[in-house]
Structure 1
Amino acid sequence: MGEITASGLLFEEIGEAHLAEVLDIYNYYVLNTTVSFHTEPQSLPEMRQSVLSGDPRFKSYAIMQEGEMLGYVLIARHKNKQAYDTSGEISIYLKPGCGGRGLGGHALRFIEERAAELRFHVLVATVCADNEPSRRLFVKHGYEQSALFKEIGSKFGRWLDIVSYQKIIGQLQ
């Protein structure tokens, strides 16, 4: 089972039973927004590889409330080189219509706690510069802008910038 937080949300580690709904949530953003830089919908095997890494440090969690999945949050590998092993890339995807309810903040606090337990030192979040709600979320929770890449992607016939935020959560081990 998962962990119920003070907010009444249940964070369950993502398994096979969650994959179809995770795929639906993610593909909504692929097809309708610049939140994802994928331009083609992902398949179930691609999503499985993305959220079920097999590495015990890189975890994905369904955000549940009263049996309904409201979104998911994950820690992924930042870069595939050993010196980066204490850094994690975090992402939060909420089901369409679930924004503006404080879920992102609860998910962020939850994943930061997990990351600290797993001895991560730095968390990084990279978002499309157009994604003001995500940008505000990370700044509100103590993340500092660490990079801006201009016109690094193209989607829906226009150039897109990305912004990276980081937060130091642990000490050198």
Structure 2
Amino acid sequence: MKITFEKATLNDLVAIKEIYDYYITKTTATFHTHPISFEELREMIPFYDKKYPSFMVKADEYTAGYCYLAPFKKRQAYNRSAEATVYLKPDFCGKGIGFKTVTFLEETAKKIGFKVLLGTITGTNENSIRLFAKCGFEKCAHFKQVGQKFDEILDVVVYQKILE
């Protein structure tokens, strides 16, 4: 399977929303509890941002998911760090695409000049935890009982990779 990455545009919003709505309604991977509007999605994903790019993940020309780099925090002192986000359609999970996507985001982050890459993950999301660990990220934070979804109290863990 050939994996490629294309710059995400506003034309991709419908596909992105479909993927994200799945994770909102069926999983605890995101802490949104109800589908969000296209406007909220546009605010969340950095379309057309050179420092924080977003991409569609393609597998043999099919849309497999999307990924992006985002500010870790919106204060200037954090400008050396970025947060990596990856969402794949369920049918494309477990096929090595996540590994290639995180690796691609890491290479992109280095070219931009980021020194630290972070992944924020629900504590029960073992697949994402394994993925980031396999990509060389180390656990650096654990926030206990910070969220609740589907009547489940949830932790958040943060994994980081120093890029220099």
Common topology (TM > 0.5): yes
1:126 pairs with 109, 113, 120, which one? 120
Q: Deviations over 1:71-127 (max 9, x none)?
A: 011100100111100100111100122111000000011110100000000001010
Matched, 1:76 2:70: yes
* Structure 1 unaligned regions, length at least 5: 1-6
Task: Rate the CA distance shift 1:53–1:14 in 2: closer, same or farther, 3 A.
Answer: closer
For residues 7-50 of structure 1, give each alpha carbon's deviation from its aligned partner in whole angstroms, at most 9, with x where no partner exists.
Answer: 72120010022110001101100011000000110111111121
Counterpart-to-counterpart distance in 2, 1:141 and 1:107:
10
User: In structure 1, which of residues 95, 102, 106 is the aligned counterpart of residue 96 of structure 2?
Assistant: 102
Letter in 1 for 2:140: S
CA distance in 2, matches of 1:36, 1:158: 13
Q: Please say if 1:152 is aligned against 2:151.
A: no
Give 2:31's aligned residue. 37
Identity %: 39
The 8 Å contact of residues 3 and 57 in structure 2, kept in 1 or not, is answered as yes
Could you tell me which runs of 5 or more consecutive residues in structure 2 were left unpaired when the two chains were aligned. none
Q: Secondary structure at the match of 1:71?
A: strand
Contact 2:8 2:47 in 1 (8 A): no
- What number of residue pairs does the alignment pair up? 164
Q: Distance in 2 between matches of 1:137 and 1:88?
A: 18
Q: Counterpart of 1:36 in 2: which secondary structure?
A: coil
What is aligned with 2:19?
25
Q: Structure 1 residues 97 and 9, CA, compared in 2 at 3 Å: closer, same or farther?
A: same
- Number of the residue aligned with 1:10: 4
Whether the 8 Å contact between 2:119 and 2:159 is mirrored in structure 1 is yes
User: For residues 14 and 89 of structure 1, do their structure 2 counterparts lie closer, same or farther at Cα, with a shift above 3 Å needed?
Assistant: same
- Go from structure 1 to structure 2 and tell me whether the alpha carbon gap of 1:169 and 1:79 turns closer, same or farther (over 3 Å shift): same
- For 1:51-70, list aligned pairs within 5 A: 51-70=45-64
**Which amino acid in structure 2 is aligned with residue 15 of structure 1?**
T
Q: Deviation above 2 Å: which 4+ runs of structure 1?
A: 52-55
Q: Give the TM-score, by structure 2 length.
A: 0.96
TM-score, length of structure 1 as denominator length = 0.91
